[in-house]
Structure 1
């Protein structure tokens, strides 16, 4: 892959898919503890989005490097 824009697009797609895989990890609903009045009982107590974004970014970098190695070494 020669284009920086192409590599950024590939990384973004990998990052987005990885985010959807990481989001449900470690979620505890409010019904498992105290439900805040006026909120949905199924809403997470502590979503931890910063931590999940960091985990997503780290996993995405590893996947991106592996994909780039495969793309650059495999000849069709």
Structure 2
């Protein structure tokens, strides 16, 4: 596998992981006692948004997911043929 492919696939895993871990730990003003929403802010906006924590968690999750992906890529435990649930398409006279 090329190093550019490794970077691209890891980046995809990282973005997916960031969206997966983003809602964990966030609190809205309704859940925090004594917090008033400033004028112009949405009532559902998080009070304790911490992008560094989200990035750290996403990095850890993406590293784990990419590791599992790469080990499967190297060992070929699950291949495309294993995921083909409907069988091969019929071949016509032209061989297509």
Calculate the aligned-residue CA RMSD, in Å: 1.5
Aligned to 1:21: 20
Answer 1 or 2: which has greater helix percent: 1
Structure 2 residue ranges without an equivalent (≥5): 80-96
Structure 1 residue ranges without an equivalent (≥5): none
Spell out, residue by residue over 1:21-74, the C-alpha distance to the aligned partner (whole angstroms, 9 max, x if none): 011111111243321222111111011110110011011111111110000001
Please give the secondary structure, in 1, of the residue aligned with 2:47: coil
Which aligned segments of 4 or more residues in structure 1 are displaced greater than 4 angstroms?
A: none
Aligned to 2:8: 9
Aligned to 2:43: 41
Structure number, greater radius of gyration: 2
Task: Give the TM-score, by structure 1 length.
Answer: 0.87
